[in-house]
Amino acid sequence: MPDVVRTDYVPLLERIAADIAPLIGSGTPAEYIPALASVDRRQFGMAIADLDGNVFGVGDWRVPFSAQSITKVFALALALAEGGDSLWERVGREPSGNPFNSLVQLEYENGIPRNPFINAGALVVTDRLQTLTGDASSELLEFLRQESRNPDIGFDAEVAASEQEHGDRNAAVAHFMASYGNIDNPVPALLEHYFWQCSIEMSCADLAGAARFLARHGLRADGTRLLTRSEAKQINAVMLTCGTYDAAGEFAYRVGLPGKSGVGGGIVAVVPGRCTLAVWSPGLDARGNSLAGVAALDRFTTLTGLSVF
């Protein structure tokens, strides 16, 4: 791991917040999940975690929000750590080009999802983690608490119930994959763990800290190894190509970092060997990514020159 000089990122974060201020409040919260529809879209937070364990922030960076699909990154890391590369026999690594909840490709690809970050792929990952651990959602929650060093991270029961109530498409996807033998656990139990996973509440500070192992080439906060360098590289690569729904090309073009977004308005991004970032603003663009959040990450890479390109 390269030596990284500690930097006070606060002046940079304050400049980014000022630069993108006109965009805060733009976009639309995820209205198809009622528990998210009422979130105040005028909120904005951003945090940077360096490799020394420091976390810097601006705005609403300590306000918890619904992490939603960002949790798919951490579930994938745990599934790889626990079960190894055999996971890739059940889920691909290619961009889908379709909405995150689409069923279109599953039929002509024999129930194998394109990547682990669309809903179908994330269900396969959660199914694998459930088989490996016996309690996928609790295992994930404990991991996030440890890596973020925040024991108060928890599930949001209201969001989980809302997801369950409006989860027909996820149920259809899971049953369809089960018909091809790509789901091992009972679908109702799998869906329960998946909805609880998506309901986890974290702040920008929590997310940036929890994702630090991806910038540390697989090393956890306590110095133990979660992933090999190759596995950490693989997750970062899939984040770059598949992490922002069907806008991954635009995100790579504008931001140039591995990233994973969630419809709660959060995005986590990784500068391998340097730092991790998390940004949150509830207003989403047409593809389900935080409008102000993408702009803030764009400003970060533009001002610092830090990207993978």
Active-site residue set: 69, 72, 194, 245, 263
Alpha-carbon Rg for the chain, nearest whole angstrom, is 18
276: DSSP letter: E
Backbone angles phi, psi at 304, to 5 degrees: -100, -25
CB-based contact 307:256 (threshold 8 Å): yes
Task: Order across the sheet with 65-66: list the strands.
Answer: 65-66, 200-202, 154-155
Task: Find tokens 């959660």 and name the residue.
Answer: 126
Work out whether strand 45-50 and strand 154-155 pair parallel, antiparallel, or are unpaired: unpaired
Q: How far, in whole angstroms, is CA 226 from its chain's centroid?
A: 17
Choose among 65, 69, 48: nearest CA to 208: 48
Measured between alpha carbons, how far is 61 from 263 in angstroms, rounded to an integer? 17
CB-based contact 5:251 (threshold 8 Å): no
SS3 at position 61: coil
Retrieve residue 270's tokens.
């990784």
Residue type, 39: V
Q: Give the Å distances, CA to CA, from 196 to 66, 137, 139, 176, 211.
A: 11, 6, 11, 21, 19
Q: Which residues pair with 66 in a beta bridge?
A: 201
Measured between alpha carbons, how far is 293 from 284 in angstroms, rounded to an integer? 9
